[in-house]
Amino acid sequence: MNVVPPALSRLIADLNRLPGIGMKTATRLALHILRRPASEAQSLARDLGELHRSIRLCSGCFAFAETDPCGICKDSERDGGLVCVVEESADLMAIEKTGAFKGKYHILHGVLSPMDGIGPEEIKADALLERIRNQQVREVLIATSSTVPGEATAAYLIKRLQEEAAVKVTRLACGIPMGMDIKYADELTLSRAIESRKDTCS
Amino acid sequence: MSLQQGLAIVLQVKDHGDSDKIVTLYTLEYGKIVLIAKGAKRSKKRFVNKLELFSLLAIHFAPSRHSSLMRLDQADLLNPFPRLRENYERYIAASLLCELVLHWTREHDCDEELFRLLVWALEGLALAGGAVNRTIIFFHVKMLDILGYRPDLTGCLDCGVLGAPGVVYRFSTMRNGLVCSRCESQATGNTSQPLSIQTIQLLRRAQDMEQGKLERLHFSPAATREAVALLKRYDNHLLQREVQSWSFLG
Ligand SMILES: [Zn+2]
Ligand SMILES: [Zn+2]
């Protein structure tokens, strides 16, 4: 006999589809929502319902935004000659938090992953190249992760940018984390840090 | 419970929740195994840089009491094959090798020879100037041999002849061998691309050749295309699924 009311079990199944949410967590979240006032559940439902209606992809940088172009692409204070390429929106947010970057972005929404059927088309590589060629971009900063797919994606983009666009291509420096004693760094990190060493008089 | 140790190649890495990773490894000692690496997404020390595709690791792991997933306890990086991520073509090739092993093997089915073949092929791909497609074809042919799925390329399955003048040879995935145009009935409907005698002979030599002598094989662009198409079709037929990396191979 099924003891869970259908409406509750549907919500549990919905939550269970979210990344990182197992059956146990989904059940706990659903029961939590049920125990809270109905107004909170209605507000959550409204926000979810609005999501696809009000948020779209910026046609310039492919960021999620309520307007097209997005706030960053529209901002005339920002340097349109410098474009930072990131894997996903969360990476853009992380870089924005530093306040250290004043250029614009391009969001790939993924990395090249042959096993998952993700190739250049899926990460909108052509759109990036077209933008670089058409918009007088001086420099492209590739800021993909230092994972294998992130680095392979960077290698692919760097090659195409160098071959098909007259633009300076830079890569986020990869090295010793702040506050780390170098003798505890692994060999790969240490050798990359040496490769991307910096002139001290600049 | 005591820890088990082994040598492993990372075949697949998936995020699991906010802080863990699920890794699929092909190991020397236990075949394909799936492990959970607790805290791997967040931890700055324990697994950083190690649970990366294609890497050769020395691992320590423990069976978990609460779930069927075994827990990865420690991983030491023996070879990260950095060149496989610095070039898109090599990255696709290495992904293909790992995807093949992922789909062609069962969990806990140990095969020392296949492990060594995989390490050898990844090393070959990482070499400068290594012929990528040749390594893939050779790896695939040898893998089929090791797993007991050697396609029969000795001659037409019906008349036994190979290389009769004016005769076209096609590979039948249903019958796991060659059928010539004289014996082929219309009813079988084998519409695959014909294989040239040159390609058939190259594949046969690869079946019987030792790894170290690979550079003696020279696949022309046409033979490479034919061999790749054949192996791809063979995978689809026997695995009943698509091996995705094939479609990105240049
Ligand atoms: Zn934008
Ligand atoms: Zn025949």
Q: State ipTM.
A: 0.90
Is the dihedral angle over the CA atoms A130, A136, A139, A144 positive or is it negative?
negative
Of A113, A152, A188, the CB nearest to B49: A188
| Model confidence at A202: pLDDT above 60 | no
Q: Between these two residues, A198 and A53, which has the higher pLDDT value?
A: A53
Residues B67, A165: Cα–Cα separation, whole Å: 52
A119 and B82 in contact by Cβ < 8 A? no
Residue of B nearest to A176 (CA): B44
Residues A155, B207: Cα–Cα separation, whole Å: 34
Q: How confident is the model at residue B188 (pLDDT cuts 50, 70, 90)?
A: low
Number of the ligand closest to the Cα of A56: 1
Q: Is the peptide bond before A69 cis (omega within 30 degrees of 0)?
A: yes
| Model confidence at B187: pLDDT above 60 | no
- Cβ(B170)–Cβ(B192) below 8 Å: yes
Number of domains chain B is built from: 2
Out of A62-66, B60-64, B156-160, which region has the weakest mean confidence (pLDDT)?
B60-64
| Model confidence at A74: pLDDT above 70 | yes
Could you list which residues have their CB under 5 Å from ion ligand 1? Answer: A 58, 60-61, 63, 70, 73
Residues B204 and B228 both lie in one domain: yes
Which chain A residues are Cβ-neighbours of B95 within 8 angstroms?
Answer: 113-115
Q: Is A16 exposed, middle or buried (0-12, 13-18, 19+ CB in 10 A)?
A: middle
Q: Average pLDDT in the B91-102 region?
A: 98
Residues B57 and B126 both lie in one domain: no
Out of A114-123, B184-193, B205-214, which region has the weakest mean confidence (pLDDT)?
B184-193
pLDDT at B153: 95
In one-letter notation, the amino acid at residue A166 is A
Q: How far, in Å, is the centroid of ligand 1 from the Cα of A106?
A: 8
Out of A142-151, B120-129, B195-204, B227-236, which region has the weakest mean confidence (pLDDT)?
B120-129
Q: Average pLDDT in the B134-158 region?
A: 94
Least Cα separation, residue A177 to chain B (angstroms): 10
- Ramachandran region, residue B138 (left: φ > 0; alpha: ψ -120 to 50; beta: rest): alpha
- Return the CATH number of A6-52, one of 3.30.2010.10, 1.10.8.420, 2.160.10.10, 3.40.50.11900: 1.10.8.420
Q: How confident is the model at residue B179 (pLDDT cuts 50, 70, 90)?
A: very high
Q: How confident is the model at residue B196 (pLDDT cuts 50, 70, 90)?
A: very high
| Model confidence at B231: pLDDT above 90 | yes
Least Cα separation, residue A20 to chain B (angstroms): 3
Token pair of A16, please?
């269970």
pLDDT at B232: 95
Domain boundaries, chain A: 6-52, 79-195
Residue of A nearest to B94 (CA): A114
Residues B92 and B63 both lie in one domain: no
Q: Which CATH class is domain A79-195?
A: alpha beta
Question: From the centroid of its chain, how far is CA B143?
Answer: 7
A19 and B84 in contact by Cβ < 8 A? no
Q: How confident is the model at residue A23 (pLDDT cuts 50, 70, 90)?
A: confident
Q: Average pLDDT in the B70-80 region?
A: 92
pLDDT at B193: 80
Residues B149, A143: Cα–Cα separation, whole Å: 44
Which chain A residues are Cβ-neighbours of B99 within 8 angstroms?
Answer: 114-115
Q: Between these two residues, A19 and B111, which has the higher pLDDT value?
A: B111
Q: How confident is the model at residue B223 (pLDDT cuts 50, 70, 90)?
A: very high
Token pair of B211, please?
């790894």
- Cβ(A174)–Cβ(A189) below 8 Å: yes
- Cβ(B77)–Cβ(B52) below 8 Å: no
- CATH number, domain at B227? 1.20.1440.120
| Model confidence at B229: pLDDT above 80 | yes
Beta-carbon pairs below 8 A across chains A and B: 65
Q: How confident is the model at residue A26 (pLDDT cuts 50, 70, 90)?
A: very high
Residues B59 and B120 both lie in one domain: no
| Model confidence at B17: pLDDT above 90 | no
pLDDT at B67: 61
Q: Average pLDDT in the B50-68 region?
A: 85
Q: What is the DSSP string of chain A?
A: ---S-HHHHHHHHHHHTSTT--HHHHHHHHHHHHHS-HHHHHHHHHHHHHHHHH-EE-TTT--EESSSS-HHHH-TTSEEEEEEEESSHHHHHHHHHHT---EEEEE-SS--BGGGTB-TTTTTHHHHHHHHHHTT--EEEE---SSHHHHHHHHHHHHHHHHHS--EEEE----PPTT--GGGS-HHHHHHHHHT---TT-
A 10 A CB-CB count for A40 gives 12
pLDDT at A89: 92
Least Cα separation, residue A32 to chain B (angstroms): 20
pLDDT at B43: 65
A114 and B92 in contact by Cβ < 8 A? yes
Cα→Cα distances A113→A133, A162, B135, Å: 26, 22, 20
Residues B227 and B149 both lie in one domain: yes
| Model confidence at B202: pLDDT above 90 | yes
Q: What is the mean pLDDT of chain B?
A: 90
Residues B172 and B229 both lie in one domain: yes
Selected residues 46-105 of chain B with any CB under 8 Å from a CB in chain A: 48-49, 52-54, 77, 80, 82, 84-88, 91-92, 95-96, 98-99, 102
Residues B172, B176: Cα–Cα separation, whole Å: 6
Out of B121-130, B133-142, B193-202, which region has the weakest mean confidence (pLDDT)?
B121-130
Q: Average pLDDT in the B221-225 region?
A: 93
Q: Supply the pTM of this predicted model.
A: 0.87
Q: A162 CB contacts (<8 Å, ≥6 apart)?
A: A169
Q: Percentage of chain A surpassing pLDDT 90?
A: 70
Residues B125 and B20 both lie in one domain: no
A114 and B44 in contact by Cβ < 8 A? no
Q: How confident is the model at residue B1 (pLDDT cuts 50, 70, 90)?
A: low
Q: Percentage of chain B surpassing pLDDT 90?
A: 71
pLDDT at A107: 96
| Model confidence at A19: pLDDT above 90 | no
Least Cα separation, residue A155 to chain B (angstroms): 6
pLDDT at B13: 94
pLDDT at B46: 76
Q: Which domain holds residue B62?
A: 1-80
| Model confidence at B65: pLDDT above 70 | no
Q: Between these two residues, B187 and B236, which has the higher pLDDT value?
A: B236
Can you tell me whether residue B107 is helix, strand or coil?
Answer: strand
Q: Between these two residues, A96 and A190, which has the higher pLDDT value?
A: A96
- CATH number, domain at B42? 2.40.50.140
The pairing of beta strand B169-172 with beta strand B177-180 = antiparallel
Residues B150 and B234 both lie in one domain: yes
pLDDT at B88: 94
Selected residues 166-195 of chain A with any CB under 8 Å from a CB in chain B: 177, 186-189
Chain A CB within 8 Å of residue B17 CB: yes
In one-letter notation, the amino acid at residue A130 is E
Residues B52 and B121 both lie in one domain: no
Q: How confident is the model at residue B228 (pLDDT cuts 50, 70, 90)?
A: very high
